[in-house]
């Protein structure tokens, strides 16, 4: 009887160890196959064109530049007839400097500089997903030749492509 | 992940219903002369230790379990969870954390004959950990401005509360030695993931997510 009990114990032990190994395999395989990185990982600032009455449309043509390492400085080229536009935001500069050129059909143009101050927040999804930065806009200021003013609408800049971050009012002094 | 959770709950529910009918109510106290207090058991989770040895993360976990009438088992589980994922081959991200955690809860023996030493049990746990993460990546170029960027946080404080629903077996192998495993459905109750808004390995919980499935393989000794 005692021998029988020992045999049962050995069987139980074998069964448990086998189930442990199976569990290890199942869970480890499961872990390998479930990488859930976001599909949309572009982080952009959205500018909405406004006037005193609300949403406005850009009748002139807009160009935006910045200073980049490769000297290919254009961020936005010939935008017209639009109520909003998006611009990239630097990963780790405390302040981005953007140059806005607004040209009308008569050949008149204005040149403004916009400074966007922000906090850069490392955003992490998983070790399997690429590194990105989110941002919190802390201040925005500009010259006022073609731009009347710029207002922060939503300071948080992340993967959300629909959120408007800045309201821009054109209509300043022209040269 | 949700599907896994639903499967786990379905199995538990089906099992509870079948046990209710066969054992005439598993929560019903078995009327016999066995005393209420049946001693303690100390345990060690071999699965967490194996996970830590074989992979980038895992936990060393011990438990102290009270035996009430071979039916109810209040339990405290204490452990240290550790992750050391060095420079991911694809993303280049390094993630490190090491922190203690605890779980507290109870198991119920679902067997009709509760005094055999072999048990099938269901249980509930509440778990908590407060941990710090180090995360970094080798400098990489900003995709638009093109200059190199550093990415990372150091000693970022995080915490998490969670609940667990578990189903397991426990078999008497020899003398006071028991072996058994449990499958655990874990659900996050509240969490603070610091500035990065997400973490990866959470000590005692596993890879982050609102729900996860986990398991333990326990070696227990009755004392």
CA gap B71, B185 in Å, rounded: 22
Residue to mutate among A23, A67, A75, A126, with most B CBs inside 10 A, is A126
Model confidence pTM above 0.80 = no
Answer whether B1 sits within 8 Å of A130, measured CB to CB.
Answer: no
B31 is a domain residue: no
Residues 6+ apart with CB under 8 A from B3: none
Span B44-68, pLDDT tens digits: 999 999 999 999 999 999 999 999 9
Structural domain boundaries of chain A? 1-34, 44-170
Answer whether B146 sits within 8 Å of A69, measured CB to CB.
Answer: yes
The confidence score (pLDDT) of residue B38 equals 82
Structure tokens at A157: 């800049």
Answer whether B144 sits within 8 Å of A75, measured CB to CB.
Answer: yes
For residue B86, give how far its alpha carbon lies from the nearest alpha carbon of chain A (Å): 10
Range(s) of the domain holding residue B107: 2-24+36-222
Answer whether A127 sits within 8 Å of B91, measured CB to CB.
Answer: yes
Contacting residues of A for B146, CB less than 8 Å apart = 68-70
ipTM of the assembly? 0.73
Span A59-105, pLDDT tens digits: 899 999 998 888 788 899 989 999 999 999 999 889 999 999 999 88
Confidence of residue B14 (pLDDT cuts 50, 70, 90): very low
* Tally of domains within chain B: 1
CA gap B25, B50 in Å, rounded: 37
Structure tokens at A63: 């160009």
Residues 6+ apart with CB under 8 A from A126: A35, A36, A37, B198, B200, B207, B208
Confidence of residue B197 (pLDDT cuts 50, 70, 90): confident
CATH number at residue B200: 2.40.160.20
Res. B23: pLDDT tops 50: no
Answer whether B197 sits within 8 Å of A124, measured CB to CB.
Answer: yes
B168 is a domain residue: yes
């Amino acid at each position: 009887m005692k021998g029988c009990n020992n045999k049962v114990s050995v069987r139980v032990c074998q069964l448990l160890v086998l189930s442990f190994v199976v569990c290890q395999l199942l869970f480890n395989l499961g872990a390998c196959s479930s990488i859930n990185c976001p599909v949309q990982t572009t982080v952009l600032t959205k500018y909405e064109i406004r006037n005193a009455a609300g949403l406005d449309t850009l009748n002139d043509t807009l160009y935006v530049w910045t200073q980049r390492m490769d000297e290919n400085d254009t961020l936005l080229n010939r935008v017209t007839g639009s109520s909003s536009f998006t611009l990239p935001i630097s990963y780790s500069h405390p302040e981005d400097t953007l140059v806005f050129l607004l040209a009308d059909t008569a050949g008149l143009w204005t040149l403004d500089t916009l400074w966007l101050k922000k906090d850069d927040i490392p955003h992490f999804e998983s070790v399997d997903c690429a590194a990105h930065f989110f941002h919190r806009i802390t201040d925005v200021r500009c010259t006022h030749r073609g731009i009347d003013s710029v207002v922060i609408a939503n300071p948080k800049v992340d993967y959300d492509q629909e959120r408007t971050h800045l309201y821009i009012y054109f209509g300043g002094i022209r040269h | 992940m949700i599907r896994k959770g639903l499967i786990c709950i379905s199995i538990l529910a089906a099992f509870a219903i079948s046990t209710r009918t066969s054992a005439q109510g598993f929560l019903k106290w078995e009327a016999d002369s066995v005393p209420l207090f049946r001693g303690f058991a100390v345990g060690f989770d071999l699965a967490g230790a194996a996970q830590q040895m074989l992979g980038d993360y895992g936990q060393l976990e011990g438990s102290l379990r009270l035996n009430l009438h071979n039916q109810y088992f209040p339990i405290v589980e204490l452990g240290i969870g550790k992750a050391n994922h060095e420079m991911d081959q694809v993303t280049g991200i390094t993630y490190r954390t090491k922190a203690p955690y605890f779980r507290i809860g109870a198991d119920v023996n679902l067997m009709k004959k509760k005094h055999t030493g072999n048990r099938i049990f269901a249980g509930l746990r509440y778990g908590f950990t407060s941990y710090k993460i180090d995360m970094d990546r080798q400098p990489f170029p900003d995709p638009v401005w093109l200059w190199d960027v550093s990415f990372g946080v150091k000693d970022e404080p995080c915490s998490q509360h969670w609940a667990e629903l578990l189903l397991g077996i426990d078999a008497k192998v020899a003398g006071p030695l028991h072996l058994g495993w449990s499958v655990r459905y874990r659900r996050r109750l509240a969490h603070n993931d610091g500035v990065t808004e997400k973490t990866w390995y959470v000590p005692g919980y596993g890879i982050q997510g609102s729900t996860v499935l986990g398991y333990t393989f326990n070696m227990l000794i009755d004392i």
